């Protein structure tokens, strides 16, 4: 992240106070509030609030004096935390938080990127995110939502009248076999050819907007 390892200097004394080791983030909003500083001699950590920074150059962070630093006995490390969705599915380990100004723009894990609007909360060991289900503006007869109407759906498919999104319950897919490999965002594997579809597969397909592809990949 930006400004990590830069030396912090007090303008009044010209003394090097320490260096930046991490971005300080409000855990409720993930907004940036400043930086964490470490003193090399004492190895003590301090909070430097953004409002107390006079300027930041290529190599240094300039503050008025050491009184602007707040001692911190402990801090919550976000980088390295597991990111889970509302169903407990792992979305990877947090590698980076991207900011636009002081506002969090997105979370980057070793598996994917997650927009801030999907952030829910920071737990003791994990970060929770959630995804709103998209609802189609078009309305279809209620029988399209039934597992027992596959024949009618296939008929619509042949007539090029297939709805924009397949609306079937998870139980329809479970136990069936995929006839192709399906990947999602950032090439994350959803299912391999010949693999049996599970409820976890269906949830991943929904999250990656691949439910239609999964439907057509089912071996008939």
Residue 93 reports pLDDT greater than 60: yes
Within-domain flag for 59: yes
Per-residue model confidence as pLDDT tens digits over 206-215: 888 888 888 8
The pLDDT confidence band at residue 163, using thresholds 50, 70 and 90, is very low
- Number of domains the chain contains: 3
Report how far residue 60's alpha carbon sits from residue 79's, in angstroms, rounded to the nearest whole number.
Answer: 24
Within-domain flag for 63: yes
Within-domain flag for 77: no
Residue 58: give the domain boundaries: 7-72
Same domain, 22 and 55: yes
Same domain, 105 and 170: no
Within-domain flag for 134: no
DSSP alpha helix (H) spans, the chain: 150-158, 170-173, 199-207, 211-217
Within-domain flag for 2: no
Same domain, 123 and 170: no
Same domain, 153 and 100: no
Within-domain flag for 136: no
Per-residue model confidence as pLDDT tens digits over 107-151: 999 999 999 999 999 999 999 999 876 555 555 555 444 444 454
Within-domain flag for 20: yes
DSSP alpha helix (H) spans, 61-169: 150-158
Distance of CA 97 to the CA centre of its chain: 9
What average pLDDT does range 92-121 have in this prediction? Answer: 93
Q: How confident is the model at residue 134, as a pLDDT?
A: 59
Q: How confident is the model at residue 97, as a pLDDT?
A: 92
**End-of-domain residue from the set 46, 72, 98:** 72
Same domain, 38 and 20: yes
Tokens standing for residue 3 = 């400004």
Residues facing 53 on adjacent strands? 63
Same domain, 34 and 59: yes
The pLDDT confidence band at residue 185, using thresholds 50, 70 and 90, is confident
Residue 202 reports pLDDT greater than 90: no
Same domain, 68 and 88: no
Same domain, 102 and 153: no
Question: Is this prediction's pTM over 0.85?
Answer: no
Phi-psi region for residue 63, left (φ > 0), alpha (ψ -120 to 50) or beta? beta
Tokens standing for residue 176 = 């069936």
CATH number (domain holding residue 52): 2.30.30.240
């Amino acid at each position: 992240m930006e400004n990590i390892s830069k030396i912090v200097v007090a303008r009044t004394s010209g003394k090097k106070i320490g260096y930046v080791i991490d971005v300080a983030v409000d855990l409720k909003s993930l907004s940036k509030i400043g930086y964490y500083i470490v003193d090399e001699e004492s190895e003590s950590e301090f909070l430097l609030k953004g409002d107390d920074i006079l300027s930041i150059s290529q190599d240094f962070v300039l503050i008025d004096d050491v009184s602007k630093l707040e001692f911190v006995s402990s801090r919550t490390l976000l980088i390295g935390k597991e990111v889970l969705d509302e169903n407990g599915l792992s979305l990877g380990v947090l590698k980076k938080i991207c900011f636009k100004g002081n506002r969090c723009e997105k979370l980057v894990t070793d598996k994917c990127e997650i927009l801030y609007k999907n952030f829910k909360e920071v737990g003791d060991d994990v970060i929770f995110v959630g995804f709103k289900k998209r609802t189609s503006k078009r309305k279809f007869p209620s029988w399209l939502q039934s597992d027992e109407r596959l024949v009618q759906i296939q008929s619509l498919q042949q007539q090029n009248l297939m709805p924009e999104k397949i609306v079937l319950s998870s139980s329809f897919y479970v136990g069936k076999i995929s006839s192709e490999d399906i990947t999602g965002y950032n090439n994350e594997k959803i299912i391999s050819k010949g693999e049996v579809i599970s409820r976890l597969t269906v949830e991943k397909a929904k999250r990656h907007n691949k439910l239609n592809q999964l439907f057509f990949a089912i071996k008939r």
